[in-house]
Structure 1
Amino acid sequence: MTEAATMSRRVEEPDAAPVPASGEPRGEAGSPRGFGARIAEFLAASKPAIGIGAGLAVLVLVWLAISHLIGEVNYDDVVAALHATPLGAIAAAVGFTALSFLALSVYDWSALAHQGRKVDYPLVALTSFCAYAVGNTAGFGPLTGGAIRYRFYGRLGFEPADVARIVAFITIAFGLGLAGVTALGLVFDPVDVAAPVGLPPAILSLIGGGVLVALAALLGWSAFGSGRIGWRGASVALPGPRIMLAQFGGTFIDVAASAAVLWVLLPQTDLGFPAFIAVYAVAIGLGVASHVPAGLGVFEAVIVAVIGRTAPVDQVLSALFLYRVIYYGLPLVVASAVVATLELRRATAGAKTSRVIRVGAQLSPRVISALTLAMGAALIFSGVTPAADSRLDILSGILPLPIVEGAHFLESVLGLGLIAISRGLAHRLDGAWWAATIAVGLGVVLSLLKAIAVTESIVLSLLFLSLLATRREFTRPASLFHQRLTPGWWMAIATVIVSAVVVLFFVYSDVDYSHQLWWQFEFSEEAPRSLRALLGVVIAAGSLAAWSLLRPSKGKTGAPTSQEVALAVAILADQPHPDANLVRMGDKSLLFSEDRRAFIMFGRQAHSWVALFDPIGPRDAWPALVWQFVEMAQAAGGRAIFYQVQPQNLSLYADAGLRAFKLGEAAQVRLATFDLKGAKRAGLRHGNNRAIREGLSFELLPPERVAAEIDALQAVSNLWLAEHKAREKRFSIGAFDRAYVAAQPAAVVRREGRIIAFATVMTTARKHEATVDLMRFAPDAPAATMEFLFVSLMLALKDDGYEVFDLGMAPLSGLHGSPAAPFWHRLGRAVFEHGERFYNFNGLRAFKAKFQPEWQPRYMAVSGGTSAIVALADVAVLIGGGLKGVVGK
């Protein structure tokens, strides 16, 4: 097969790539998978459950350790210590919190500077503040700072890989900075750290000094060396010395200030502040490594184990509670107030809104969601702790006992509901907004009825007002009840419930358990009330889990009816992109929007529901349709995948909780400037002239002429399939179906009147863009046949007024191979460079590059937690018509 013939097929899909390129495990062709492969498949499928199990095991062990450490502490003593905290210490803690969050903006600034990107500092500071306010609360759980950064930077034109590098830079820089600050503590105050960890001070000083020397060497290499660091031929550019020094400085201020927040709240201890910073840094690192949301319990265990040796444990617990409220809760409340204020200003400013105000509106769903999550947890914890006796005395003279009991129970269960609702808020669902508004409003009333909880009621009122202020940001018309909670969200719920159980046993450790507790109803009986509230939360969580597992699957799959295909064809006729003509094959299921103005065509392989391209239809119908598809896949226990989506639409999929992976780059030729003149097009010009000398002629047949020549076209197709021992593909490429081919124009090449090559041409009534699908040629066709066909077709389309010709995608093209790039990029780059035995990646791009196209990235968006390799393997099976089609041709 000639290069032109091989590379001219519009096969951007992995249909010609055998299984090793797509990630499907197999041994020899046709052999069953071995025991090891089945075990690996089981582990991959069970990864979410294993992750939750491991996280819960860590959480339970940590809380058991804390319970042992605080076994002699009384809850009343902790409350007394809390009330005895000086106001000056609280004010200082608030000030150090502000300083820490100000220093955190250095991380984003340095990451952008390292990439050579410039963004106004107010925007960076606002994004950083919101990202850390949310990320600190949720940790690596259901809401992350990375999602906020993606939403913000993606709107500024950053590709997903760019955002991934920013997040990776921040993570690595924080890790190095944390190591440096810990090392300083070990060097300057090793004696205080030695006793808790059981190591000689000299050893600790040596370790700290070694870390500092390594960091200094890294800085020196950046300033005076090559500026790159690598291993085994792979290298990454280090930040410049100015950026690195700014990063170290920002980390030092951040860690020192955040440690000072807890330091000023703790009782007097023998541990010096430098040593305390080292202990604090270790506690933070272990909390992050545990993957428990917000490091809840892990951080506390380290602090109690170390500080509790030389200070009263009840005062340490009081300080830890205030630290969580001030450093975690207060910034989240402030962030919610800020984005709500910016949203109100945006509503009043109209078209004159500043970029800062617009950014606030973009970030508000995630921030409001995080505060809703935090308040849900707060209501559950409030339900297992007693109210002040003075407040209960007041209530006893105003309200009957059943109202107080009912309010206490309902608000605890409502807390679990808020946690579940917060996921819908993160995805901007209108149903979640209505549910949250009603639930939070009800919570304000219940908090007063159960115990006159003024502070709780004030924060809930702020959340209520923030929801009202940001109403127009929650516009996704998707059902809240169809949302399937991901493993991260179940881990967050489990963390809250396990922690609430521990708190309950700690608070009422002096109450002997008896079955009679469940039936005691008195104003003064707080233990039974808390016990019933926790039982309600557990039952509600179990019911939610059962509903998630047992609810009926919705959505239809299978071949569409002829009426549905006709409606889809009518819709695509008025769209600019012609790829959707693949719907004419009738081999893909169709999902229409509720108003029938737009549709998604998709296929199902194993647990993957794969949508081909972006939705087709008016742009305003896309958000609801994307959500409809994601819901349908999740309701069936599957994962949603959008294959070959365009970069300008990525925020749409991010809002639906999908992650983007770059597939390659599409080659698009601007026909207005395409001709055969000049030195750059000399190769095309000479090839075209040679084809004409060899007696080749070109013709663009309209559909009615195609029908008349269908027998000749099928003869060429059959010869092509036999010559290459290939089988028809499907899904993202058409097959030779006589009705399908006859419904579209066809570009044909003749020699001596006989058709020797053809390509089906896909267009729409807009006449904006054209592309080709099936490309077949006879074995005796000259080498330059397909190149001649493409050149002649583009010139004919140009004369007919078309603006763009899409040559299709070069798979895995444009991926970064740098060690700093995401794993998917490095894997794809390696396959692109070394996978020629499986697929002619370089040759395909080189052929398309002859036409001097513009390269535009194409992405695959997959449900969160789904491996890109697994998703692409399922897509490959869909395209190949089964595993046999992937392994063979």
Structure 2
Amino acid sequence: MSGQTLQVLRRAFPILLGAVLFAMGIYALLHLLRDVDSGAILAQIKSTPWTALWGAIGGTFVAYVALAFYDVYALRYIGKSLSGGIVALGGFLGYAFGNTIGVSVVSGGAVRYRIYSAYGLNAFEVAAISGYIGLALGTGLTLVGLAALAVHPHAVIGYLPYGPMTVRVVAGGLFAVSVALIVWMSFADRRLTVMGYQLRMPPPRDLGGQVIVVLLDIASASFALWILLPAGKPDFATFVAIYSTAMMVGVLSHVPGGVGVFETVVIGTLPADVPVGDAAAALLLFRLIYYLVPFAIGFLIVALNEARVAGGWVGRLLSRLPAPMQPALSTLHGLVPSLTGLVAFGYGIYLLAITMIPSVRTDAMAEGDLISTLLREGGTLASAVAGVTLLIIAHGLARRVSSAYWLAIVTLLGGAAGALLDGGNWPSALVLSLGVLALLPLHKSFDRHGPLTQGVFGPRWFLMMTAVVCATAAFAYYVNRTVPYTTDLWVEFAPDSDTPRALRSGLAASAMLLFFCLFLALRPTQQRSGSAPDPMARAAAILQQTQDPAGWLALTGDKKLLFSEQNDAFLMYAVYRGRWVAFGDPIGNPERFASLGAQFIDQAARANARPVLYGVSQAHLPIWTDLGFGMNRIGDEAIVNLKGRGTTPPTDLTFEVLHPPHNHVFTELKEVSDAWLHGASGQDKKFSVGLFAPEYLSNFEIAVLRRAGQIVAFANLLPANNGQTQGVDLLRYRPEEGAEIIGTLLSHSMAYAAETGAQYFSLGIAPLAGLSDKTVGRTWNQFGRLIYRHGGAFDSFEALRTFKQWFDPEWHPRYVALPPNVSPLVIMSDMASLVSGLPRRQRLRQSKTS
């Protein structure tokens, strides 16, 4: 099996596993509900006491307050602090969106880094916060579940082939060992290495506070469900064990919100005298209160913030918010497209679901009333078509297409009208109308023009559509299973013919979705790259005007080039693991950068890839934020001002600058390069570092140091800004000379640059200051020598930065620009593999031994 096939399988495995678990959860849930009438569930929901509803709302409120304290302790863990309002906003939105979307560490982390990065936190630190939260939550659920099982083992006896005493002893033993290990690591400040990553516990005081937060979180959330359950439910302490187990299984399944999986575990572990239908009603209410209500509040916060930016009376009202909160609120704009697409997708599922639910016929709809029958038929079909339409255009909304936005508004209004026609379903019409009101302030976020189907709908989208269709079909079967099937159902028209209407609506929706999928599959393949003929020659001409020395890396040949329509600017990028990773800012005419960025996003979408920009400068940040990227600072470029620098101290080495061509010295340069590679990584880096090849080096002057006539070190010089700026790319030396020779070579190169009229000299990017002193720095040190140029000659991040600081440079921040819901942890790990040119396992193994 080829390496490419294995890579595809590794990428597809989590998606397929989630789909299988989702299908198993839905199947198990339908099996548990096989004897329950859907009408009884709705009746039980309507009869739920208000005291239970308010109790569930109160439990949810306390649980989300406790969840925000996870962020507080995560910030303390990495040595950072933010104001309470900022942490409350970031924590609440992170959990409100992450809990509903699923894979909360990733989706919740994407929300957090947008907010927290506005206050100076970088991508590494926000990723560490997300990792801490995921680990703390998972550990807390596991330990609380073990403790509860040790006290109340009967909660899972029906699911395990062991007796109560065995379950009690095993659960209690695992709990005691785990707690002892955690306490020992905290008090002794010891670290545990797992799969190459070092884990350490918080100090004892913070560990105690985290324990209280975990207990409060789990107790409050489980109470929100327990209070909704009917008579016969277990005591609260026993139910905590059930809830913790169900939550852990749901989280591990990676199914959004654990839908189907969580419910199956809870219903299956409840006592036999609890009616299954009543338990299902309680679980449905819990979903609405604990997941959808916070998500709706979070989306309302985003919508109100957009209205605040737009002005008007809402803007005047919200302008009174504290000034320290304004930077956090300004970051929410970039979340709008993805959240709107998610909301549209959810409304689409909702509309498909209500077409399957039997309607309550109003008194005005008498038997045999043809007009009533036509109205209900039309309303049901309109709801089904509107649901499929929203599923399809959700992709366009996430891509900020303006036509998708206005079509979503029209579709929601049409769905509301269809709900009113379908038996006067005014609650659904109200829900859909509220969605329209929430979307209205967001119109400025959808400013891109193009066809709704522009961009490829990839395997993940097709799998999601399949899951929706299967789940809808299963729901329709469950709701209408008591009606004997005959072919006459398809042509039966009457006001109370709910099952025939559901069948016809399901057929119409499935046919519409099938035709759309066939259209996508059969349309002609479009060109993925905008590169013109002879791209290297065209790029070399544009590079004469580059402002960044690193722009010359476009000539290495390991990156693709995307040119502007006017062919006076281009952007270089590499394709890696389903992502298009651009390197640095666009090069050429700055007036083309915004359109070139939009073109890059569209081209990546057509290739079913996610666009990422690595190493972009501060000069063009507004372009990327306007295009919906989140900016994360990854390091600083060291720029040395050559004005007034002293002369280079004398040494026994001879400095010389060689002008191209370099055929006469290439053999000697290769000897130096091979010796350096043998003592470093063993092979050339890629992407962000130049290539040791005659065709590449022939474009540049090469600075060399000789000892007794023999070349012992060299670096190719990169010109920029019409000669006003210079930089270095490949910097190699014979290992026996020692790393100190780097400083000598750079000092001579700077003196030469100043003599030839340059004013600035770029030493490349150095990692963020102070990172190695934090726990997160220990994780990323293994990538440092791979990601950062010349990192292989230094022991750590700080050593590389300290070396560059010796030249007294000005530090200019550099960023990685990520689309929403993309984890900086994953991107930076991928960057290390992309630069090193090694598979992930081999790269990790090498970084540990180097």
Normalised TM-score (structure 1)? 0.77
- Report the CA distance between 1:842 and its aligned residue: 5.1
CA distance in structure 2 between the partners assigned to 1:142 and 1:190 by the alignment = 30
- The equivalent position to 1:522 in structure 2, one of 494, 512, 518, is 494
- Report the CA distance between 1:172 and its aligned residue: 1.0
- The equivalent position to 1:110 in structure 2, one of 70, 73, 97, is 73
Q: Is the 8 A contact 1:600 1:615 kept in 2?
A: yes
- Report the CA distance between 1:394 and its aligned residue: 8.2
- Report the CA distance between 1:418 and its aligned residue: 2.5
* Residues 656, 471 of structure 1: alpha-carbon distance in 2 compared, 3 angstrom cutoff: closer
Partner of residue 828, structure 1 = 783
CA distance in structure 1 between the partners assigned to 2:206 and 2:713 by the alignment = 58
* Residues 133, 294 of structure 1: alpha-carbon distance in 2 compared, 3 angstrom cutoff: same
Higher deviation after alignment, 250-259 or 177-186: 177-186
CA distance in structure 1 between the partners assigned to 2:830 and 2:293 by the alignment = 41
- The equivalent position to 1:506 in structure 2, one of 478, 489, 505, is 478
Structure with more relative contact order (C-alpha pairs < 8 Å, separation 6 or more): 1
Partner of residue 287, structure 1 = 250
- The equivalent position to 1:132 in structure 2, one of 87, 92, 95, is 95
Q: Is the 8 A contact 2:96 2:298 kept in 1?
A: yes
CA distance in structure 2 between the partners assigned to 1:776 and 1:321 by the alignment = 64
Partner of residue 690, structure 2 = 733
CA distance in structure 1 between the partners assigned to 2:566 and 2:405 by the alignment = 23
- Report the CA distance between 1:484 and its aligned residue: 3.3
- Report the CA distance between 1:431 and its aligned residue: 4.8
- The equivalent position to 1:632 in structure 2, one of 599, 603, 611, is 603
Matched, 1:440 2:423: no
Higher deviation after alignment, 723-732 or 56-65: 723-732
- Report the CA distance between 1:47 and its aligned residue: 3.0
CA distance in structure 1 between the partners assigned to 2:725 and 2:239 by the alignment = 64
Partner of residue 668, structure 1 = 638
Q: Is the 8 A contact 2:563 2:569 kept in 1?
A: yes
Structure 2 counterpart of 1:577, one-letter code: D
Q: Is the 8 A contact 1:716 1:777 kept in 2?
A: no
Residues 373-429 of structure 1: CA distance to partner in whole angstroms, max 9, x if unpaired?
322221121122122122882899795644532332232243243344444444555
- Report the CA distance between 1:231 and its aligned residue: 6.9
Q: Is the 8 A contact 2:230 2:274 kept in 1?
A: yes
Partner of residue 406, structure 1 = 378
Q: Is the 8 A contact 2:672 2:732 kept in 1?
A: no
Residues 136-182 of structure 1: CA distance to partner in whole angstroms, max 9, x if unpaired?
22212898212212222233332222122111100111112213332
CA distance in structure 2 between the partners assigned to 1:304 and 1:728 by the alignment = 57
Secondary structure of the residue that 2:664 maps to in structure 1?
A: helix
* Residues 448, 596 of structure 1: alpha-carbon distance in 2 compared, 3 angstrom cutoff: farther
Partner of residue 285, structure 2 = 322
Matched, 1:122 2:85: yes
- Report the CA distance between 1:279 and its aligned residue: 0.5
- Report the CA distance between 1:451 and its aligned residue: 3.7
Q: Is the 8 A contact 2:783 2:829 kept in 1?
A: no
Q: Is the 8 A contact 1:93 1:262 kept in 2?
A: yes
Higher deviation after alignment, 432-441 or 155-164: 432-441
Matched, 1:339 2:302: yes
Partner of residue 592, structure 1 = 563
* Residues 802, 516 of structure 1: alpha-carbon distance in 2 compared, 3 angstrom cutoff: farther
- Report the CA distance between 1:189 and its aligned residue: 4.2
Partner of residue 374, structure 1 = 346
Q: Is the 8 A contact 2:229 2:282 kept in 1?
A: yes
Higher deviation after alignment, 459-468 or 479-488: 479-488
Partner of residue 307, structure 1 = 270
Matched, 1:68 2:31: yes
CA distance in structure 2 between the partners assigned to 1:817 and 1:665 by the alignment = 15
Partner of residue 805, structure 1 = 761
Q: How does 1:842-853 map to 2 (within 5 A)?
A: 845=800, 851=807
* Residues 762, 139 of structure 1: alpha-carbon distance in 2 compared, 3 angstrom cutoff: same
Secondary structure of the residue that 1:116 maps to in structure 2?
A: coil
Structure 2 counterpart of 1:503, one-letter code: F
Matched, 1:484 2:484: no
CA distance in structure 2 between the partners assigned to 1:192 and 1:232 by the alignment = 33
Q: Which runs of 5+ in 2 are unaligned?
A: 676-682, 839-850
- The equivalent position to 1:51 in structure 2, one of 14, 20, 26, is 14
Structure 2 counterpart of 1:359, one-letter code: A
Higher deviation after alignment, 274-283 or 418-427: 418-427
* Residues 71, 783 of structure 1: alpha-carbon distance in 2 compared, 3 angstrom cutoff: closer
Q: Which runs of 5+ in 1 are unaligned?
A: 1-37, 678-684, 700-705, 879-889
Higher deviation after alignment, 790-799 or 718-727: 718-727
CA distance in structure 2 between the partners assigned to 1:143 and 1:114 by the alignment = 19
CA distance in structure 2 between the partners assigned to 1:595 and 1:328 by the alignment = 49
CA distance in structure 2 between the partners assigned to 1:462 and 1:504 by the alignment = 26
Structure 1 counterpart of 2:726, one-letter code: A
- Report the CA distance between 1:655 and its aligned residue: 9.3
Q: How does 1:735-774 map to 2 (within 5 A)?
A: 761-765=717-721, 769-773=725-729
Residues 596-632 of structure 1: CA distance to partner in whole angstroms, max 9, x if unpaired?
6743134668977553323335778656534432432
- Report the CA distance between 1:828 and its aligned residue: 2.9
Matched, 1:275 2:238: yes
Residues 342-365 of structure 1: CA distance to partner in whole angstroms, max 9, x if unpaired?
332333359987343543453351
Q: How does 1:779-790 map to 2 (within 5 A)?
A: 790=746
The aligned length equals 812
- Report the CA distance between 1:276 and its aligned residue: 0.9
- Report the CA distance between 1:112 and its aligned residue: 0.9
Structure 2 counterpart of 1:668, one-letter code: A
Residues 434-477 of structure 1: CA distance to partner in whole angstroms, max 9, x if unpaired?
34333333333333233433222223222222222133334456
Q: How does 1:94-105 map to 2 (within 5 A)?
A: 94-105=57-68
Secondary structure of the residue that 1:590 maps to in structure 2?
A: strand
Structure 2 counterpart of 1:615, one-letter code: P
* Residues 164, 399 of structure 1: alpha-carbon distance in 2 compared, 3 angstrom cutoff: farther
- Report the CA distance between 1:327 and its aligned residue: 1.5
Secondary structure of the residue that 1:71 maps to in structure 2?
A: coil
Residues 114-138 of structure 1: CA distance to partner in whole angstroms, max 9, x if unpaired?
1111111112112222222212222
Matched, 1:173 2:129: no
Secondary structure of the residue that 2:453 maps to in structure 1?
A: helix
- The equivalent position to 2:665 in structure 1, one of 707, 710, 716, is 716
- Report the CA distance between 1:67 and its aligned residue: 2.5
Structure 2 counterpart of 1:715, one-letter code: H
Residues 785-843 of structure 1: CA distance to partner in whole angstroms, max 9, x if unpaired?
986653233235457775642233589999869986797x375369899xx9x976659
Partner of residue 236, structure 1 = 199
Q: Is the 8 A contact 2:637 2:812 kept in 1?
A: yes
* Residues 485, 156 of structure 1: alpha-carbon distance in 2 compared, 3 angstrom cutoff: farther
- Report the CA distance between 1:278 and its aligned residue: 1.1
Q: Is the 8 A contact 1:219 1:241 kept in 2?
A: no
CA distance in structure 1 between the partners assigned to 2:196 and 2:551 by the alignment = 43
CA distance in structure 2 between the partners assigned to 1:158 and 1:60 by the alignment = 40
